[in-house]
Amino acid sequence: MCVDPVTAAAIAATATAVTTAGQGVATYMQGKADEKGYKQAARQELMNTAVEESQYRKESRKFAARQRNQALKSGGDVASGSLAEIAKADSQTMELNALMRRYAGETEAESLRFKGRSAAAGATISAAGQFMQAGVEAIGASANGDFDAFKKKAA
Q: pLDDT, tens digit, for every residue of 71-95?
A: 888 887 777 788 888 888 999 999 9
Q: pLDDT, tens digit, for every residue of 109-120?
A: 999 999 999 999
CA distance 71 to 150: 98
**122 band by pLDDT with thresholds 50, 70 and 90:** very high
**49 band by pLDDT with thresholds 50, 70 and 90:** very high
pLDDT value at residue 5 = 73
138 has pLDDT over 80:
no
**104 band by pLDDT with thresholds 50, 70 and 90:** very high
Q: Which of the residue ranges 12-16, 24-28, 56-60, 108-112 would you say has the lowest mean pLDDT?
A: 12-16
151 has pLDDT over 80:
no
